[in-house]
A and B are shown apart, each in its own frame.
Chain A
Amino acid sequence: MISPMTAPISEQLPINWFSFTLLSPLIGGLLLAFTRQAEKAFSINVIFSAATFLGSIGLALDVLQVGAHEALNGFFFVDAYNVFLVSLTSFVALTTAIYSGPYMRFEWRERGLPNHRLRLYHAMYQLFIFGMLLGFTTNNIGLMWIALELATLATVLLVSLYRTPASIAAAWKYFMLAGMGIALALFGTILIFFTSSTIFGHSNAALTWTMLYAHASELQPTVMIMAFAFLMIGYGTKIGLVPMHTWLPDAHGEGPTPVSAVLSGLLLNLALYDLVRFKMLVDLSTGSDTAGHVMIFFGTLSLLVAALSLHKQHDIKRMFSFSSIEHMGLMTIAFGIGTPLACYAGLLHMTVHSLVKSGIFFTVGHAAQAMGSQQMDRIRGLIRHHPGIGWGLLIGTAAIAGFPPFGVFTSEFLLFSATLDSYPWLIAPLLTGLLIAFAGLFRFVQPMVYGEVAEHAITVKANMVPIYVHFTLALWLGLSIPAFLSGWYKQAAALIAGG
């Protein structure tokens, strides 16, 4: 492996890693758009995802070595906050690509997904990854918006992949709501440009993140608060916060399972990342906690509503998508509280939630294929039918519900301590929400994994490796957090907390 340590000029290599990480999914997507043989496409998808992951590792090593820096004329930058998200994204993208091979092969062979749709799926998958990475690394808040929109449009096409009535209706709803949310976010961005252009003049500098951050105290507080209101609703729609969440369960329920996994595990993270970036700016500009309070409000609302809605579901993917809303609510609360400890908890939670939730969707996908339905009352006796899938679902549910040895427990515990320090009264709704969600998860999962096998079950070739990898990592993060990761979290938390 090429080691960046041998590089004589530290400036030279980051650019290469940048270009490498960003170009890999773009080229991969183009290539896959023209790959006609399905079997080849499966491996190309994995290869390019692996290359992207490699690039992000290189990028991460750079940051570990050099620290935060800019690249490509200051249009991109990495710091402790976004580099770990880049690695996380490319890692989950890689495992999802590995998982999606057998899964999509099943859909293609057994369920008659046409060849050209498979091509669309692969091309859009890579384009989505490109949008994600662009969104995380760009230094320009305008480009950030464009990247999120790009990732959204790619997932709209992915959600409607099966072209069933329900999937088209779901994709349309997703498209419309996301379109409205994204419009509000652009409006907020324009407002920020409105005040920043009085400092930097009419140029890209007025949209550049690092410049804005350095001059945040000169930005007009009234405008910034107003802009944050729009950004909160806009990006909040993409995070899936209540009451703008209605697209999310439909989109998760109707798309192919790998898409549900990356939607929950990645896209929601990008939207939250963007929102937190703006929160940092607004906090510095206004010198008050207003933005944080707004986030706590929406986070708590999402937590409670999602936990209650979880009980009313019949579709297993919709049920777990409500769990995603609940966890995004938790993270929003964590960043809203905004102390270094709370931000640390939020970042850790982001990581473990991405790992565990995508792992759960992997097992759910196989379970649904085995039982021929996503309806929970038709899924019975998974452990007897296919122990791997059954235990996977049970362990994943235990992990996401916050059982002790897993990382979710650690992050929730940290969040509770942070809440006790700053907003003790918030403990009550937090605990209530988590308990309700806990009850809902086990109420549905228990009959699905135990008991007699349903008669309509068929055998599927399950790819359990990505699932085990995800859960093992989540377990590891629960037992002990590696020093370099902990260091990043601390740095990023200090950055977000405005240290």
Chain B
Amino acid sequence: MNKFTLAAVAAVMAGTGSAQATNIEFWYGNTGQVETAIKAQCDAFNASQSEHKVNCVGQGSYEVSMQKAIAAYRAKNHPVLIQFFDAGTLDLMLSDAVEPVQDLMPDVKWDQYIAGARAYYETSKGKLFAQPYNSSTLLFYTNKTELEKAGITETPTTWEGVIEAARKLKAAGHACPFVTDGDTWRVLEQFSARHGLPIATKHNGYDGLDAEYLINTTFAAKHLANLVEWRKEGLVRLAADTKAGNYTAAFNAGECAMMEQSSGSYAAAAKAFDGKYELTVSMAPMYEGYERHNTFVGGASIYVMKGHDKAEIEAAKAFLDFLRKPEQQMFFTANTGYVPVTTDVLDVIAKSDEANSPKYATAKVGVESMNQPATADTRGVRLGFYVQFREVFMEETQKAFAGQQTMQVALDNTKKRGDQLLRRFEQTYKGKQLP
């Protein structure tokens, strides 16, 4: 940490010097190991200089943080910096409550951000709205020890391979070969992206607020129907089918042998497996015959909120500059499993003697996954009331998993209800243009 602190001091001292420290607030939503890392970064920033002081406030979850930000903004009592997650991107873009980071800091080399991370948070004219912070993407985790016990020596890379492995595991008496929580981000968004499938028309909403959902007609519908069949066969388990009751916990405890999960879970899985099992992480599986495209960037980014004076904005800029530093990004990656998304940091990692260290395992494979060939449909999701859509998707597909309706009916309903949300969003923001 000391080395980082010194570097930070040097960087900040090069700027202007003033007597009075400006206090600003930064709201974040993470908990656990990630929160510890965020707090360490805040402390390091405050220790590195005396001009600015950032007060980092944990809100417990992204949603709670956002609820409070909305109330605070209406009461003109809002923080300068707020972290928010991928699904709320459009809500914030149209809110008129945030200042695009690229407008505030035009001199930063924003093109250092890898395309996969930029595309999610930039305007149609290529202007970055938020600074990517804890970036993640979907990865495929396996318990190598358990797989080998069942005679599987190679990590599967295709869904066909995953299911073959699952059958072998089941035959070997394994109760939970593959586990998922059926979460929208994992089973729909990241699946569609890497298979090059659209989620909605207008390139997932990037070309206008009048988009419509396509999820019930693409190959994703077939995959989701497969998941239902595989669950009946005992190859796929849902979170509620596991003893742990939570799919990540079930995997980490060794109850389940394979899962699809965010790179942000890596640190916890590695810690839980230590000395007991061998862990592998690789790119999420593809269906045979489909060309691999990029996965979306997940996690969250940091927005600068409007309505603050110059000194506060300067402090916010200094903190954002600090977080972009390679040392800080590497520290964050090593302690959480989130992925660094700027090329300079990736270069530093590649050249260091720790390039193959497990603490940077997710950086390599995560960036590789986000750097696969992109199409206009794999830039991201820019759809209104999208957080609510995720709830609708979960509700309808859970009914399909419970056998109350077929997956096709579930997805048809999801599309219908999703389109209603989009139309209402369009009406709520009538007259506003997508930036």
Partners in one complex: no
Which B residues are within 8 Å of any A CB, using their own CB?
none
Which A residues are within 8 Å of any B CB, using their own CB?
none
